[in-house]
Structure 1
Amino acid sequence: MATVLSVSGSPSATSRTACLLRHLDRRLTDQGHEVVPLDVRTLPADALLGADLRHPAIVRTAALFDRADGVVIGTPVYKAACSGLLRSLLDLLPQYALAGKTVLPPATGGSTAQVLAIDYALRPVISSMGAAHIVQGWFTLDKDITVGDDGALTVARGAAEALAQVVDQFSDALGSRTALLAAAG
């Protein structure tokens, strides 16, 4: 199947966004995809903020994007936009780092007033980076995500069903892309 890079743009070590992405990663893995998780917060701040394109961590991260067939780019929404941490990474990557890739942009936030951030703040950036196909994203309210003391994730039923549907659409799109590339090769 496909190789998927799953990117969490949350700056928080106890992030609901990251927990939700790891939950989605398991679904993709169960469908036969190889999933590589990346928490942007683990990258060196000096390299991100100083735009150090030669820093080994940034070089390795760019290589992860290059090798991926598909990318899940998850972010909490702050002030009607993706996190600044995520944006710092996306700004460092090559202009067409997402060229030919299928991308799924899920987001989390505290209010339904932020739901359009996927379409107005994240999708244009992903598109400008050359994504071949941007699958319908999904905005999940923070109140619909519960992380237990043991790290177990619970997602409210309606949100869980919607997330499963968009992940399956992403997986199907990856499968179609992989089949086309195999036929062409």
Structure 2
Amino acid sequence: MSYLVSISGSPSEASRSSVVSAYIKRKAEERGLSVREISVLDFDPDVLIRGKYDDPSITEAISVLHGASGVVIVSPVYKAAYTGALKTLLDLLPQDIFKNKPLFPLMVGGSAAHLLAIDYALKPLLAALSAQTILKGVYVLDKYVDKSDANEPIKDEEVQEKVDVQFEQFAEIAQNLSIQKELK
């Protein structure tokens, strides 16, 4: 298998969504999977805001994503949607960047009122980038994420089970697609 990519849409270094992203990376590595990380913080804000498609940081991210067997996207919820920083990054990627790759969306938010942010905000954006296999995704309330516990940051058993089960489904799909590509 090649590798998975984790995209973090948080503009904050010490966010709950970053902790969830690190948890997913650890789960993947426990399965023997390699993970490459892309964060909106990896890019000069000028590159994102001015839409510099040809910037080396953007072309490198595109190259990494092209080689991925699957993509995890983690974002905090801002104003009932993904972050503007994540949107500016995704706007610079090719229209078919997620074609033939499973995607596992996770969002972390402060209120149950934004529970549908994955379905009504993030998934349509991913579909516009040719994503065909998008898992249901998991919305995690802020209050269930302990930033001080890197090993088990999700403190609600039901939510942790949802994350773990969907991650296993995602990893299985990604591994199967990777094997199919290798056989061709």
Task: Return closer, same or farther for 1:179/1:42 CA change in 2, 3 Å cut-off.
Answer: closer
Aligned residues of 1:147 and 1:153 also touching (Cα < 8 A): no
- Once residues 65 and 175 of structure 1 are traced to their aligned partners in structure 2, the CA distance between those partners, rounded to angstroms, is 16
The corresponding residue for 1:19 is: 19
The answer to whether residue 87 in structure 2 is matched with residue 87 in structure 1 is: yes
Distance 2:45 2:87 in 1: 13
Question: With structure 1 as the length reference, what TM-score do the two structures score?
Answer: 0.93
Change in Cα spacing, 1:128 to 1:177, as seen in structure 2 (3 Å) is same
Deviations 1:147-183 (A, max 9, x none): 12x8565211222111111101101111221232234
CA positional deviation for 1:126? 0.7
Aligned equivalents of 1:74 and 1:80: distance in 2?
A: 15
2:146 equivalent to 1:140: no
Following TM superposition, where does structure 1 have runs of at least 4 consecutive aligned residues deviating by more than 6 angstroms?
Answer: none
Q: Which residue of 2 aligns with 1:78?
A: 78
Number of the residue aligned with 2:175:
175
The answer to whether structure 1 residue 43 and structure 2 residue 43 are counterparts is yes
* Distance in 1 separating the partners of 2:177 and 2:150: 34
Alignment match, 2:153 = 154
Does the 8 Å contact 2:19/2:153 carry over to 1?
no
**1:72, 1:133 → 2: CA distance?**
12
Instruction: State the SS of the aligned residue for 2:160.
Output: helix
The gaps in structure 1 that reach 5 residues or longer are none
Displacement of 1:13 after TM fit?
1.4
Read off the aligned partner of 1:94 and give its amino acid letter.
P
Contact 2:23 2:151 in 1 (8 A): no
Corresponding position: 1:108 with 2:135? no
Aligned-residue Cα RMSD (Å) equals 1.4
Q: Report the CA distance between 1:37 and its aligned residue.
A: 1.3
The answer as to whether partners of 1:19 and 1:153 remain within 8 angstroms in 2 is no
SS at match of 1:123: helix
Which blocks of at least 5 consecutive residues in structure 2 are unaligned?
none
Q: Distance in 2 between matches of 1:179 and 1:79?
A: 40
